[in-house]
Chain A
Amino acid sequence: MTHGRQRWLQLASYGLILVLWLVVAELTGSRLLPGPYAVAEKLGEEFGSGDLMLHLGATLGRVAASFVLAMAVGCAIGIAMGRNRSVDRLLDGWLILFLNIPALVIIILAYVWFGLTEAAAVGAVAINKIPNVVVTMREGARALNRDLLEMAGVFRMNRWRKLRHVVVPQLSPYLMASTRSGLSLIWKIVLVVELLGRGNGVGFQLQMFFSLFDIAGILAYTVAFVAVVLAIELLLLQPLEKRITRWRR
């Protein structure tokens, strides 16, 4: 199949969602399912008033902070567990524990113990994500090619070179997987955190629209956020992935 045809199929797939939405909204004619036009109008309104950028910005900021924190801590712990059997044994129980605590419990406890603060919110989201990063990065670290590490050792590559040219390229598929699943998981949890204890952000807005039964508002913010995530995927992650896998035959 040609590249152009693939592109076309991709566009058709997005178009189909829009058409389906339009048809169902027209057929039901309900206030509870506004059509694309009504949602677009609401989106324009929210954008015009500056509310959209304010709340979307607040949410994106929290997503970014939680993501960086979760990736940094998760990678460090995951790689340590993958490379060192004692560390693995020591932390394995903790990992199972944190993997299975519901996100809501962590959020509530964080707010109760540390107050309704920004740090508690971001920290709670990161703690929810860290175990998943640990699991993925541990797999990656376990799969590191011993032959290449030995080569780097014999030829006395320094730590930085070894990390950058031998270790990270091998971990990059795992980093990409963590990033993808991380962004989608984190932004969902961020909304919950905002709903429960923040005065701005998409989650806060959704709660307000919910109490007003403003479904167009809810859909408008959903569309805006999905557009941002899609942009990150298309403009950031896919080109990055293409770049780091260009050596493959």
Chain B
Amino acid sequence: MAPLDRLTIRIREKRFPSVGDSPARLVLKDVEFSAAAGEFVAVTGPSGCGKTTLLNIVAGLDNEYAGEIGLPIHSGETRPTVGYVFQNPRLLPWRTVLENILLVLPEGAEAWDRARELLQNVGLWESRDAYPERLSVGMSRRVALARGFAINPDILLMDEPYVSLDPQMAQRLRVLLLDIWSGRPTTVLFVTHDLREAIMLADRILVLPREAGPVAAEVPVPIPRDRRRDEVPVEAFRRALLDDPANGLDEVT
């Protein structure tokens, strides 16, 4: 395979087969888009529109679909590395914070340095020997973030990682995400139903339609990155997006 630096997604169709009494369901249809190397793309849309399914397909967790996925890849590598920050942190509860990071890295002294660097980045080096069940919710999500970046991913998938956190905590974690990402840019596919979050983080926002179908809207975020932490321009842009019926965003907050 030739080295690719773009993420290209062409899903012709994804169905969930019928299980028991529930009928088969068409989840994704003709979803096509691509992302440049180092681009931060937010995917939004009404709940149940297949956002998580899309990420699982990109991650290779779901192979039962029709279409092609081209992942970005470092030159010289044979397979792309994929980082995934799940909605729940999915840490191994029986391994310490540090072990949770080390276990996704190749063995060796480099791994240790890398784990330390990432844990310092998220402010958890002091808690490296703690077990995940003893961490607060926010700390667990920071570990998951560190793990996602630790493998130096060609693409980082994030599935509503800050849902159900209190607003201040969520905001702190978004700032942290941007800090780390700007230091080691990688292609990010970030699923969220929170339009403010998408505007704050992304270079470009994709909207998936309620009924399975092609991407309903594709909106670049024009606000310069140094003004994203300010609520006023973010809120103004959000209103503008919601007011334009072409975006099909009425259902999304």
Contact = CB atoms under 8 A, between A and B. Distances in A.
A195 B49 CA distance: 68
Interface in B173-217: none
A165 B92 contact: yes
Binding site secondary structure of chain B:
loop
Interface residues of A, number: 18
Contacts of B53: none
A155 B90 CA distance: 12
Interface stretch (A10-18, A71-79, A85-93, A146-154): A146-154
Nearest to A150: B61
A148, A155, A166, A246: residue with the most chain B Cβ atoms closer than 10 Å? A155
Contacts of A228: none
Contacts of B84: 151, 154-155
Contacts of A244: 94
A161 B103 contact: yes
B88 interface: yes
A153 B61 contact: yes
Interface string B44-80: 0000000000000001110000000000000000010
A151 B92 CA distance: 10
B220 interface: no
A246 B86 CA distance: 26
Contact of A249 (B60, B61, B86, B134): B134
Interface of A: 147-148, 150-151, 153-157, 161, 165-166, 169, 244, 246-249
Interface of B: 59-61, 79, 81-84, 86, 88, 90, 92-95, 99, 103-104, 131-134, 147, 151
